[in-house]
């Protein structure tokens, strides 16, 4: 078994992992592991932009208020203030790394700001409608300029290595690296490091309909849970209201900025309906409100989709403002300049995750989690639009400060590795139909039983079925396999189980968690749902 040493191990290559690597590039050797190609991330799909107070008519207090309102009583006010007030500095970081945000055509000295649901002011900076793609590409360019930052593609981390074997007494005090599958050369590797940072993104692939890329299988959450990290608020899955509905469109998101620019939602009869669910905010209500409204319209009418109409705006403006959406929809025969776009909700963002403090630290001292895989307290029960890229940038900065503070001690620590008894790699069996079948079964089960609207009976039935699949996996597919599908199935089963347990514990409806048995908020549940293995 090949054993490699590095000073800092970052697992994940989205905005969180890449920006952190740049912040820490002077400390020592940095290794970034990514299970596919470096740009196969959720970041690259982010269309809308980044929320930041940049206008004289806006204020930090308003952005804080909007975030707290969206979070429905579960945001950590200290964290919200930290993120909102640090936003201008993090935007400056991106500009220094080469990101050129769109400017206001009427005043080129100012950025062009747009509006999204839940925001009381225009404060979304963007690069056309492909902001994430530009950010990801610029960060990759900067990382590749640093010889001490190594990127290992097609490397899947399958187990974190504790300093000492984990027992009933609780999680280890620290980790010393990770067991990794090199999926290119079909072999196992061990990466030893002084500090480990999980930047693995979300878990949208737990659901059959999602805006997320294929990489979003909750890997970091599964890794952290198995070693003893606390996991919080996994019941809060944000479903994006508007994903393109077309048999050939796998997971294409129709950005919320269209509604910010005036797009109207129409039912199957071509009539607006959001006024019935939120008379004041209508299409600009928070995502949980809009998603449930669409879900109710679909169930009432039996229609397969609703429609988003922005054709009232000038066609030249639409082609310039939304080039990515325009070109993609046109590829599927939909001209957004004169046709409404068929849309449906889809699993989009995980508001909970690995519980961290304001430095991105987990309850294991040298293990950090940043980005969508983390639960920082910013989002509460529902994420405010375009706060996600901002959160990743803020906490990569926060983590860099803490790691630099700890470095005098960390750099003197010895690389250690416990006996490798559990890390026995197996070849892939021929009967992979079991894996593909259960992939589909788990994801459809979660969509039908633990989706936009839930009830306790369905959650309990889903939990029993997930338990059955996990037992089958343990019986027939135990251990580690040099196969991405097998290992990802194990991870989505773990995350699905944690989502179900969390949802059954929260006996109320709040934010993205809507439980028909308890359709209102309850004061006794104004707290995090926390799960740990030990």
User: Is there a catalytic annotation at residue 287?
Assistant: yes
The yes-or-no verdict on residue 421 having pLDDT over 70 is: no
Whole-number mean pLDDT of the chain?
93
Helix (H) or strand (E) holding 137: helix 131-144
Chain centroid to Cα 381, Å, comes to 14
pLDDT band, residue 255 (cuts 50/70/90): confident
Q: Can you list the domains of the chain with their CATH numbers?
A: 241-345 (3.90.700.10), 426-531 (1.20.58.100)
| Position with higher pLDDT, 333 vs 420 | 333
Q: Which two tokens stand for residue 251?
A: 């997971």
Q: H/E/C letters for each residue in 288-357?
A: HHHHHHHHHHHHHHCCCCEEEECCCCCHHHHHHHCHHHHHHHHHCCCCCCCCCEEEEEEEEEECCEEECC
Q: Taking Cα atoms as reference points, which of 222, 207, 50 lies closest to residue 136? A: 50
Strands (E), 39-145: 50-51, 103-104, 107-111, 124-125
Whole-angstrom distance, CA of residue 277 vs CA of residue 338: 27
Whole-angstrom distance, CA of residue 98 vs CA of residue 102: 13
Whole-angstrom distance, CA of residue 125 vs CA of residue 122: 9
Whole-angstrom distance, CA of residue 20 vs CA of residue 392: 9
| Position with higher pLDDT, 354 vs 472 | 354
Contact yes or no for 242/253 (Cβ under 8 A): yes
Average pLDDT, integer, range 158-185: 85
The yes-or-no verdict on residue 223 having pLDDT over 60 is: yes
Whole-angstrom distance, CA of residue 223 vs CA of residue 374: 12
Q: Which residues are CB-neighbours of 248 under 8 A, at least 6 positions away? A: 332
456-476 vs 433-449: helix crossing angle, rounded to 10: 170
Average pLDDT, integer, range 261-273: 95
Chain centroid to Cα 163, Å, comes to 29
If you count them, how many residues does the chain have?
534
Q: Which two tokens stand for residue 108?
A: 């080129």
Strands (E), 352-458: 353-355, 367-369, 374-375, 425-426
Percent of the chain with pLDDT over 70: 97
Phi, psi of 16 (to 5 degrees): -65, -50
User: Tokens 């005098």 appear where?
Assistant: 408
Contact yes or no for 258/117 (Cβ under 8 A): no
Q: What is the pLDDT of residue 253?
A: 87
pTM for this structure?
A: 0.92
Q: Which residues are CB-neighbours of 237 under 8 A, at least 6 positions away? A: 207, 347, 349, 350, 351, 499, 512
The yes-or-no verdict on residue 425 having pLDDT over 80 is: no
Q: Which two tokens stand for residue 140?
A: 């990759």
Average pLDDT, integer, range 357-364: 98
The yes-or-no verdict on residue 117 having pLDDT over 90 is: no
The yes-or-no verdict on residue 168 having pLDDT over 70 is: no
Q: What is the pLDDT of residue 86?
A: 98
Q: What is the pLDDT of residue 218?
A: 97
- pLDDT tens digits for range 20-36: 999 999 999 999 999 99
pLDDT band, residue 166 (cuts 50/70/90): low
Q: What is the pLDDT of residue 369?
A: 98
Catalytic residue, chosen from 133, 142, 174, 287, is 287
Using CA of residue 169, residue 171, residue 176, residue 181, what is the dihedral sign?
positive
Phi, psi of 388 (to 5 degrees): -75, -50
Q: Taking Cα atoms as reference points, which of 12, 21, 6 lies closest to residue 141? A: 21
Average pLDDT, integer, range 79-94: 98
The yes-or-no verdict on residue 167 having pLDDT over 60 is: no
């Amino acid at each position: 078994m090949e054993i490699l040493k590095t000073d800092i191990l970052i697992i994940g290559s989205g905005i969180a992992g890449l920006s952190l690597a740049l912040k820490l590039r002077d400390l020592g050797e940095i290794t970034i592991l990514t299970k596919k190609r470096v740009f196969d991330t959720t970041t690259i799909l982010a269309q809308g932009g980044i929320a930041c107070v940049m206008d004289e008519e806006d204020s930090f207090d308003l952005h804080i208020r909007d975030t707290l309102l969206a979070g429905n009583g579960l945001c950590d006010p200290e964290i919200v203030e930290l993120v909102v007030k640090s936003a201008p500095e993090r935007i400056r970081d991106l500009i220094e790394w080469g990101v050129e945000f769109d400017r206001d055509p009427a005043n080129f000295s100012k950025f062009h700001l747009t509006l999204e649901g839940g925001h009381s002011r225009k404060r979304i900076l963007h690069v056309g409608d492909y902001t994430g793609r530009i950010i990801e590409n610029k960060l990759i360019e900067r990382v590749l300029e640093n010889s001490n930052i190594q990127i290992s593609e097609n490397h899947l981390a399958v187990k974190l290595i504790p300093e000492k074997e984990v027992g009933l007494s609780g999680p280890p005090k620290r980790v010393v690296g990770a067991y990794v599958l090199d999926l290119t050369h079909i072999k196992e590797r061990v990466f030893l490091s002084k500090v480990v940072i999980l930047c693995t993104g979300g878990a949208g692939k737990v659901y059959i309909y999602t805006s997320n890329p294929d990489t979003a299988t909750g890997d970091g959450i599964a890794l952290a849970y198995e070693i003893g990290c606390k996991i919080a608020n996994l019941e809060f899955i944000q479903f994006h209201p508007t994903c393109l509905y077309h048999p050939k469109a796998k997971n294409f998101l129709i950005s919320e900025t269209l509604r910010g620019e005036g797009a109207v939602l129409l039912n199957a009869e071509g009539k607006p309906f959001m006024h019935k669910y939120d008379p004041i905010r209508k299409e600009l209500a928070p995502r949980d409100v809009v998603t449930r409204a669409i879900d109710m319209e679909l169930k009432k009418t039996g229609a397969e989709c609703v429609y988003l109409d922005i054709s009232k705006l000038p066609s030249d403006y639409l082609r310039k403002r939304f080039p990515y959406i325009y070109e993609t929809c046109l590829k599927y025969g939909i001209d957004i300049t004169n046709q409404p776009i068929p849309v449906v909700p889809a699993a989009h963002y995980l508001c909970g995750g690995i519980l961290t403090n304001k430095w991105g630290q987990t309850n294991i001292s040298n293990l950090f989690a940043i980005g969508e895989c983390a639960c920082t307290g910013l989002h509460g029960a529902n994420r405010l639009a375009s706060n996600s890229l901002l959160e990743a940038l803020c906490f990569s900065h926060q983590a860099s400060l803490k790691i630099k503070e700890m470095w005098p001690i960390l750099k003197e620590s010895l690389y250690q590795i416990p006996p490798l008894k559990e890390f026995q790699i197996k070849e892939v069996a021929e009967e992979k139909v079991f894996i593909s079948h259960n992939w589909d079964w788990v994801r459809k089960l979660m969509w039908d039983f633990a989706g936009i609207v839930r009830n306790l009976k369905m959650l309990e039935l889903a939990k029993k079925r997930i338990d059955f699949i996990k037992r089958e996996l343990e019986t027939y597919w135990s251990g580690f396999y040099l196969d991405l599908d097998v290992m990802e199935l194990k991870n989505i089963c773990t995350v699905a189980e944690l989502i179900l347990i969390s949802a059954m514990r929260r006996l109320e409806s709040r934010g993205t968690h809507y439980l028909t048995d308890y359709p209102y908020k309850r004061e006794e549940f104004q707290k995090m749902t926390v799960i740990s293995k030990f």
